[in-house]
Amino acid sequence: MQANATDKKTSLKVQIAQKIMIDLRFYNEHPITAENPRKAMTQLPKEIAQLISQTSLGGIILFSDNLESPQQIIKLNHDLQLAATNSSLKSPLLISIDQEGGRVFRTSRSDTIAFTGNMSIGATYQEHGCDYATKTAEVLATELNSLGFNVNHAPTIDVNSNKNNPVINVRSFGENPDVVAKLGQAQVSAMQKHNIISTLKHFPGHGDTDVDSHTGLPIVMHDLETVYKMDIAPFKQIIKHDAPGMVMTAHIQYPNLDNSEFIAKSGVKMLKPATMSRKMITNILREELAYKGVVITDALDMKGIKDFFTEDDAVINTFKAGVDIALMPIKIRTAQDLNKLPQLIDAVANAVNAGELDKHEICESFKRIQKLKYDYELVGNVTTSLTDKISHSKTQLLKPENLIIEQQLAEAAITLVTSQNNILPINNRDIVHLIMPDKTKCLALSSMLQAQFKKTLFVTHTNMQNFDITKAQHFIDNANIVIGAHIAPKQSAAEMGGMDDLITNKQRIENIANPKDVYDLLKFAKVHNKKTVFISLRTPYEIAQFNDVADISLATYAYNTHLDSHTHEIKSPIFSALAKVLSGHIKAKGYLPVTVKI
């Protein structure tokens, strides 16, 4: 497909289909029932392949449910592209993924390198500049490319200026817009040099919210000066110097950017969210910031949109605002859902024919998408044989030198936040008690500490998911160093995978240790003259709450663990790095990328 394709060669419905990106997380041939539960789509069903071919669908986003192993992922992506080549347009699919690194990571951590995420990279900026932003993006892009992906919805360049932000927090590089811009630009540049289209998100900024747009419609009340200096600044800088292939919109209201209203499907008047604001998408992003690339929505199945619009109206309104691609506007979960895509295409075509949507704008948007595919030579990847793709991936995944970078980042990021008493390092005469969020993290840190002392250290632990306070206090009585850790805030839908996970994982989300229980155990330890350490395993803001019960406080920004598929041992670069700090083998050299008020 040539970059200069026009509406003279391509029908309106095909142009519209190219502006749609769907997910295929689950698919059942028959209706889903208790006897026929939903099934993850890991192989391409014939009827889905035919749907892609018949409609000339533009893009697919894959999630963890779709991704079992490198060979399976490559085969699935290969088959998806073959289906696209059988369409009348023969335009390759945009096959995308949310592979930010850290907490938002879709492929298996035992097959690919996850790193510790953006806030940990922000913690290294003062000493290492953009070094780790570049290196991590290079690795993420190289591995994704070898698996058959061509779009990564990353980096997140939201400036996390709200300590109660439930969805961005450690996904942000920090609270300084200039640093966020530099680190984000480094990642965009590195990914795109390695032939992965980068998506900046979430325009015009999701950093100062205390509502997750997966579960509601946030509003940001910044005045215009703050919006431009804080929220929009990173987008402006990166677009000017290293323009990304894509920019993703936010389902957020910004009344000082656009106070126009819409009528929700309930009949209530509401402010337009950015995703549907022509002023924000066309006037600001396109015209003021001079962005020439492809604009994609955040997932349209999120409650920040779904609660207020029908599926058809959501897509029509995003296109009316100037968006190029509607992400996840419909759910295809059974064979009975297959007609949803042609029906959506028909609805948009009817809106064009009725004059509600501008036909010329649809054509220009279609051409932008084709140019993006042409610029990244997606056709070349489609024509490579499946055998060659699998062979190539074996040389690109889990490279030893890249695993070293992962460990180095974890070690460089750990931050000493408070130190009221110099109680470190631990030595092999100490008796250590760990208070950890769950059993896996108990075992991970315990085994990593034992590795530092060649298994001569005596370690006990309390699993906060199922703890007995009497037993915990007994262990504390017998220890001389007590280390407590906590994770705040709870996991968001973005980390789990999206809206499909909110209900199924509700119990897992709720089964998180109460910070007061951790605090009370550390207080008990202090009263009994024990040395105490508090570790923030996620956003470091909570350290302020533990200051009076901790001799030392550390921030790790991550808590990833995985089971080695060969040795069946728990692996964790961040807990390995933490054990090295606690044992005195390395120093905590990171710097807080956000303000913690002690």
As annotated, the active-site residues are 298
**Is-contact 146 399, C-beta < 8 A?**
no
**Is-contact 322 361, C-beta < 8 A?**
yes
582's CB contacts (< 8 A; 6+ apart) are 424, 425, 426, 449, 452, 483, 533
355's CB contacts (< 8 A; 6+ apart) are none
State the Cα–Cα distance between residues 51 and 357, nearest whole angstrom.
25
State the Cα–Cα distance between residues 211 and 216, nearest whole angstrom.
6
483's CB contacts (< 8 A; 6+ apart) are 432, 433, 434, 435, 445, 532, 533, 534, 535, 582
Tokens of 427: 């030595």
Beta bridge partners of residue 555, listed in sequence order: 415, 536
Tokens of 332: 């295809």
Please state the φ and ψ torsions of residue 277, each to the nearest 5 degrees.
-100, 115
State the Cα–Cα distance between residues 240 and 552, nearest whole angstrom.
43
Tokens of 158: 């939201």
**Cis ω before 540 (30° cut-off from 0):** no
Reported residue count of the chain is 598
